[in-house]
């Protein structure tokens, strides 16, 4: 694998920050130069496409949430952003009067709450670093407390009513200790085993 790909966090982080900073002058230009009104082609096609993407995102997020899959994070985050943008564009582009009232009602009653719910589902898909979780190990057959990992899906919780992930338990408690020790060592923290 190429070195630049292995060091992508060092490369892409500054590049993305630079791109975001370059957008600031562009945003200032747009705010002063764009007209307040414009005629748009394919307006109905554009909004139909947005609503189709929202429907697909909500359905996919719902299916993955129903299955308790951490993979829900990506479609949930995408759908959250899309719903928030939909609400913003609806409210800011609607004509005064009944159309404005309806767009505000839709944003406040449907789009923004759905966006917040999807964002919560996206964030909750990631394990919390340092949080203790209880897992059932194959070696002992009993519960063991271990720190949550920050990579990959978390092991099945022992309190879950026989979830599908229950069969994917860690083989022994030694692996939990090694994983926790390695994770802390990478963070530069001292552990009792490294003293």
End-to-end Cα separation, the chain, in angstroms: 35
Residue 127 CB contacts under 8 Å (≥ 6 apart), including other chains: 133, 148, 149, 150, 153, 154
Q: How far apart are CA 117 and CA 85, in angstroms?
A: 15
pTM of the model: 0.61
pLDDT digits (tens, 9 = 90+) for 123-149: 998 876 545 455 555 555 555 555 544
Look at the block and give the residue holding tokens 């879950």.
Answer: 160
Beta bridge partners of residue 135, listed in sequence order:
144
pLDDT for 12 equals: 84
pLDDT category of residue 174 using cuts at 50, 70 and 90: very low
Tokens encoding 77? 């985050």
Q: Are 102 and 135 in contact (CB under 8 A)?
A: no
SS (H, E, C) 22-65: HHHHHHHHHHHHCCCCCCCCCHHHHHHHHHHHHHHHHHHHHHHH
Look at the block and give the residue holding tokens 């005064």.
Answer: 96
pLDDT for 70 equals: 92
């Amino acid at each position: 694998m190429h070195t630049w790909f292995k060091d992508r966090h060092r490369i892409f982080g500054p590049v993305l920050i630079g791109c975001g900073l370059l957008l600031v002058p562009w945003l200032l230009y747009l705010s002063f130069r764009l007209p307040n009104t414009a005629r748009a082609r394919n307006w109905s096609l554009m909004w139909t496409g947005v609503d189709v993407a929202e429907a697909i995102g909500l359905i996919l997020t719902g299916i993955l949430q129903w299955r308790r899959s951490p993979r829900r994070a990506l479609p949930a985050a995408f759908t959250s952003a899309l719903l928030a943008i939909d609400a913003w564009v609806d409210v800011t582009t609607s004509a005064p009067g009944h159309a404005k009232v309806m767009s505000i009602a839709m944003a406040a009653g449907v789009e923004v709450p759905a966006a917040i719910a999807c964002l919560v589902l996206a964030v909750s898909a990631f394990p919390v670093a340092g949080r203790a979780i209880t897992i059932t190990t194959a070696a002992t057959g009993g519960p063991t407390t271990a720190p949550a990992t920050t990579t990959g899906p978390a092991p099945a919780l022992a309190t879950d009513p026989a979830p599908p992930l229950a069969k994917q338990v860690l083989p022994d408690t030694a692996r939990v200790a090694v994983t926790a020790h390695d994770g802390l060592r990478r963070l530069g923290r001292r552990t009792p085993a490294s003293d």
